[in-house]
Structure 1
Amino acid sequence: MAVRGKAMVPLPTLVRAMRRRTSNHMPSNQPLPSLRRAFSLYDQINLIDNVPEDQIRFKQVTDTGFGVKGVHYEGSLLCVGNLLMSWHPKKLSEVTPESLSIFQTVRPVPEILLLGCGKYIQPVNPELRAFIRSTGMKLEAVDSRNAASTYNILNEEGRIVAAALLPYGVES
């Protein structure tokens, strides 16, 4: 008990000293900076501005397509690194190993394939999962808005990532 009492005695003195020190260096109406914010990874990564010209960045996800660099693309898209192409599947049941066969030849192999399932997350066919695993990629099946957002972040980090996106309006 005596040790605990001694440890608590200097605390009020420390608080008073900190208040005197901050009042000399900072205006009293300005809040103290948050330590959590000061050490955030996202303070080091600019997710909105200064995106390289050749980098794909999804700005809009609609029921019928996607907005990229001021251009609206109708229908499904397949993205690998900073390449963007039209993709023929219109619903998740049309996504097959054949529709993703490009990943048998793409080098370097993306570390992850973000599968945008449309409006809702849906179960992925085990045959399709096995095919994606055989290419060396991991699969993340999410709704298309989250897939596009995750693609932006991972691509900006410089990671090798791919996305197969169905329009947000797709429900089955």
Structure 2
Amino acid sequence: MFATVSRSFLGLLVRASGHQTSRSISFSNAQRSGAYDSDGKTTITILNNEPGLGLMVDSYSKVGFRLNNGSFVVGPIALFPKTVLSWNVQSDEDINEQSLDLFTVLEPRPDVLIIGFGNRPEFKIQLDRLLHTFRVKKKLNLEILPTDRAVSTFNFLNAEGRYVVAAMIPPKAINTTDDDYAMSRDRKKKLYLYDD
């Protein structure tokens, strides 16, 4: 099962100009007076469908990551705005100064290095302590986040045009919600064209 990246962060980007991938929401004349656009229309663009924004993560599983270009990458990844590499770590416990050396020699230097460590919240404190001197010594802007939040943060910063790099490990467990089950059921209905 795949966890779809949170729509609220992956996001929906509100723009004043229309795009091929945008949807318009119309308002009545009474509602127009408070609209911030001159014609009272708001357009919503889904970032992952926007051409030219670079690579983004559409979904992830316990096995790997599905990117917005349709490819699926198995295992831990090092993700750049236009490139993805396999990251040679086996688990979050392998994250250390040596496994992050690649990111210190990049030119130009990334604005932010995001580390997605899986989904053990207690591990963040341990990683923060372990990488504190590394962060200071190498002068890196480092964000250490659970993988689900790392994915959302990478997608958002990449869409803003920042030079962001992410090193992420697939989570060992994925939390599902009722919305996930409902979306899965709806996709299955569309796929098999049947009613309950």
The TM-score with structure 1 as length reference comes to 0.68
Residues 111-139 of structure 1: per-residue CA shift (max 9 Å, x gap): 21111111233321523232133322222
Partner of 1:139: 142
Cα 1:114–1:32, aligned 2, differ >3 Å: closer, same or farther?
same
1:50 shift after superposition: 2.3
User: Larger C-alpha radius of gyration, 1 or 2?
Assistant: 1
Identity across the alignment (%): 24
Partner of 1:165: 168
Q: Which moved more, 1:44-53 or 1:139-148?
A: 44-53
Q: In the alignment, does 2:59 pair up with 1:56?
A: no
1:70 shift after superposition: 1.0
Secondary structure (helix, strand or coil) at the match of 1:32 reads helix
Structure 1 residue runs of 4 or more that deviate by more than 4 Å after TM superposition: 28-31, 42-46
Partner of 2:65: 66
Report the residue type matching 1:73 in the other structure. Answer: V
Report the residue type matching 2:85 in the other structure. Answer: M
Instruction: Give the paired residue count.
Output: 140
Cα 1:149–1:125, aligned 2, differ >3 Å: closer, same or farther?
closer
Cα 1:34–1:168, aligned 2, differ >3 Å: closer, same or farther?
farther
Contact 1:89 1:99 (C-alpha < 8 Å) held by counterparts: yes
1:45 shift after superposition: 7.1
Residues 76-135 of structure 1: per-residue CA shift (max 9 Å, x gap): 001233221001212221011111111221011112111111123332152323213332
Contact 1:109 1:135 (C-alpha < 8 Å) held by counterparts: no
Structure 2 matches for 1:1-172, cutoff 5 A? 32-33=31-32, 38=36, 47-52=47-52, 55-68=54-67, 69-121=69-121, 122=123, 123=125, 124-169=127-172
Cα 1:50–1:77, aligned 2, differ >3 Å: closer, same or farther?
same
Q: 5+ residue gaps in structure 1?
A: 1-27
Name the Cα RMSD after superposition.
3.0
The TM-score with structure 2 as length reference comes to 0.61
Secondary structure (helix, strand or coil) at the match of 1:78 reads strand
Q: 5+ residue gaps in structure 2?
A: 1-26, 175-196
Report the residue type matching 1:120 in the other structure. Answer: R
C-alpha distance in structure 2 between counterparts of 1:143 and 1:98, whole Å: 20
Secondary structure (helix, strand or coil) at the match of 1:127 reads helix
Partner of 1:23: none
C-alpha distance in structure 1 between counterparts of 2:135 and 2:80, whole Å: 14
Q: Which moved more, 1:79-88 or 1:128-137?
A: 128-137
Contact 2:66 2:73 (C-alpha < 8 Å) held by counterparts: yes
